């Protein structure tokens, strides 16, 4: 199994409605792209200053499924149209579990 974890920090001027729409577009990837066994997209609880603003955690049954997702045109469009325009920074990691 492969777990894909991404943290997002939004630009200071990113409107709340744009951030919410981006999170929904990320959640919709499970339906629109698939290949994952689970998907969690959540906002930071605000308990500690300096945290990222949101996280995506997706589990894939194997490396090939992850690569199909990562290269899928719908996934790439969500990144280009929703994430990148409001992004300050992003951190990613994939690991076996």
Averaged over successive runs of 10 residues, the pLDDT of the chain (97 residues) comes to 98 98 98 96 97 98 98 98 98 98
User: What is the C-alpha separation between 51 and 8, in angstroms, rounded?
Assistant: 9
pLDDT of residue 43: 98
pLDDT of residue 75: 98
**Structural domains for the chain:** 2-96 (3.30.70.100)
Give the count of alpha carbons within 13 A of 88, CB side only: 12
Residue 22: DSSP 8-state: H
| Residue-wise burial string across 28-55, b where 16 or more C-beta atoms lie within 10 A, e elsewhere | ebbeebebbeebebeeeeeeeeeebbbb
User: What is the C-alpha separation between 80 and 72, in angstroms, rounded?
Assistant: 12
Residue 86: DSSP 8-state: G
């Amino acid at each position: 199994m492969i777990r894909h974890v991404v943290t997002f920090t939004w630009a200071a001027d990113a409107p709340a409605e744009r951030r919410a729409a981006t999170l929904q577009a990320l959640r919709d990837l499970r339906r629109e792209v698939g290949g994952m066994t689970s998907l969690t997209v959540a906002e930071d609880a605000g308990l500690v200053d300096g945290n990222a603003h949101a996280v995506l955690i997706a589990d894939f049954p194997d490396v090939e499924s992850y690569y199909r997702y990562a290269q899928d045109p719908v996934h790439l469009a969500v990144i280009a149209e929703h994430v990148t325009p409001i992004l300050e920074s992003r951190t990613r990691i994939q690991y076996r579990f």
